[in-house]
Amino acid sequence: MTGMARVALSPSARAPVFWLLFGQVVMFTGIAAIFPIAPLYVSAHGGGAVVVALFIASPLLGNTLVQYPAGRLCDRIGRRPLLIGSRVGFSLFSIGLFVDAGPLWLLTLLRTFQGLTSGAYVPALRAALTDLSDEENRGRRFAQLQACEMVGLLVGPLLGGSVALWRLSGVFGVAGLAVLAGVLPMMRVPETLPGGAVASALRRPFPWWRMRGVIVPALGLAALGAVFSMYDVVWPQYLTVRGYGPLLIGLSISLFAVPILLLARPAGRLVDRVDRRALVTPAFVTIAATAASYPFMRALPVILIVGTVEAVAMVAIEPSLFAVIGDTASEDVRGRAMGVGGFFEFSGLTFGAAALGSLYGVAEGLPFWGGSTLLVGAALVCALGLPSPEMRVPRRQRAPETFPIREKEVV
- Cβ burial, residue 296 (10 Å; 0-12/13-18/19+): exposed
**Residue range 70-79: average pLDDT?**
92
238 vs 200: which has the higher pLDDT: 238
Fold of 3-397: Growth Hormone; Chain: A; (1.20.1250)
- What pLDDT, in 10s, does the model give residues 350-399? 899 888 988 988 999 999 999 999 999 999 999 999 987 655 544 443 43
- What pLDDT, in 10s, does the model give residues 127-140? 999 999 888 889 99
- What pLDDT, in 10s, does the model give residues 154-170? 888 878 888 988 899 99
- How confident is the prediction for the chain on average, in pLDDT? 86
Give the span between the Cα atoms of 266 and 13, in whole angstroms: 18
Q: Can you give the pLDDT at residue 391?
A: 55
DSSP annotation string for 44-73: HTT--HHHHHHHHHHHHHHHHHHHHHHHHH
User: In this model, does residue 401 exceed pLDDT 50?
Assistant: no
Give the span between the Cα atoms of 377 and 363, in whole angstroms: 23
- % of the chain at pLDDT higher than 90: 58
Torsion sign across C-alpha atoms 322, 325, 326, 332: negative
**Residue range 271-282: average pLDDT?**
93
pTM, whole model, 2 decimals? 0.83
**Residue 14's pLDDT band (boundaries 50, 70, 90)?**
low
Among the ranges given (54-58, 305-309, 400-404), the one the predictor scored with the smallest mean pLDDT: 400-404
DSSP annotation string for 248-260: HHHHHHHHHHHHH
- Cβ burial, residue 329 (10 Å; 0-12/13-18/19+): buried
Q: Can you give the pLDDT at residue 122?
A: 95
